[in-house]
Amino acid sequence: MTKEDYIDLRNKNVFGEILYEFYKEYFSAEKHKIFLEKDDFYKAINFWGQGNIVLPTVLSYYNNKFLITEVYNKEGVIIKLL
């Protein structure tokens, strides 16, 4: 995933896709038994209820990786990603 892809997904609030990209990036055939396709990954993450738990860590990872700066309005809502 490129920085532009990440910003686009964040702007569209497509957090499931960001989680899946992270999963693909860190999947290791030596450590894991099977690679999950996107639909199966979404089912698994929803079934176990882990999406909201790991999302802040994944967003932080990509923010650091791509040197993202979040710009907030006075209400504390992100208005722009740089």
Q: What is the pLDDT of residues 32-49, one digit of tens each?
A: 788 999 999 999 888 888
Q: What is the pLDDT of residue 51?
A: 78
Q: What is the pLDDT of residue 64?
A: 96
Q: What is the pLDDT of residue 58?
A: 95
Q: How far apart are CA 39 and CA 43, in angstroms?
A: 6
Q: What is the pLDDT of residue 29?
A: 81
Q: What is the pLDDT of residue 31?
A: 83
Q: Which residues of the chain have pLDDT under 70?
A: none
Classified as helix, coil or strand, 47 is helix
Structure tokens at 58: 């994944």
Q: Dihedral of CA 49/57/81/65: which sign?
A: negative
Residue ranges with strand state E in the chain: 70-72, 78-81
